[in-house]
Structure 1
Amino acid sequence: MNEDILRYIEEIQTTMDPFGGRFLVHGKEVEVKEGPWPGTVVVIGFPDMDRARAWYDSTAYQALLPLRTDHIQGEVILVEGVPAGYDARKTAAALRDAAGL
């Protein structure tokens, strides 16, 4: 922990607000049930992928980003969430049909 990281944490929400971003997981302990886990996890939600991409690429976030990347090693991914009412059984059925099972 240092001043750069604290400043990053203090300022990141301001960069997310114009894009509808909010923390879903931040600063919580990870309880590992299967496989290795290298550390912590942060999950940020956005209304859609376009806004997630726009936030990450924004001038405001790119200016803030080195405060984290200069001191913390980690990966960043963007992934589309499932819609409300998602049913994994329907996905399994479609996969069965596609595989001819």
Structure 2
Amino acid sequence: MLGNASGSVVNANGIQIVSYRGEENFWGNIWWWIDGINHYANATTGECDTYVADHGFTDDSKAAPYEDTGMCAKYGNGYISAFCYSEDFDWLFFPDSYSYNT
């Protein structure tokens, strides 16, 4: 309901949902599993090739209907300091770099 705006709404079950700049649920309250993202990580570089699909979900697949996002997500320790971006997948948020400053 809020789109990319910040604020809160109450859903049909009477639960208040907070949104900050379009991002909902900062507390990680996952109520169900969402499939469709496969990462292929390189343990040496900490980089991940990312593939997504909206149907025909399978584990460990780069084949259709999965599409290469062109994003090179990174994993590691520290605070996320930047996110990957792709015009075609502008709804995905994956960490691109980390900052180790406290």
TM-score normalised by structure 1 residue count: 0.23
TM-score normalised by structure 2 residue count: 0.22
Give the number of the structure whose residues are more often helix, by fraction. 1
